[in-house]
Structure 1
Amino acid sequence: MSTKFADRMSDDASRRDLELALGVELNALLSASRALTERSAAAFHPALQPAAFHLARWLYAYGPAKPSTLAEAVAMDRSSTSSLIGRMKDLKLLESTPDPDDKRAVIIALTPAGEAQVRKALDVRGTTFFERTAHWSTDDLHTFTALLHAFNSPQG
Structure 2
Amino acid sequence: MTVVFPILIILLTIAGMEMISWAMHKYLFHGPLWFIHKTHHQERHGFFELNDIFSLLFGAIAVGLMWFDRETRSYPFWIGAGISVYGIIYFIFHDWFIHNRFKAFKSRNKYLSGIRRAHKIHHKSTEKNPSEEFGLLVASRKYFKGSK
Please say whether Structure 1 and Structure 2 have the same fold, judged by a TM-score greater than 0.5: no
Between Structure 1 and Structure 2, whose CA radius of gyration is higher?
1
Q: What TM-score, normalized to structure 2? A: 0.30
TM-score by length of 1: 0.28
Q: Which has the higher contact order (CA 8 A, sep 6+)?
A: 2
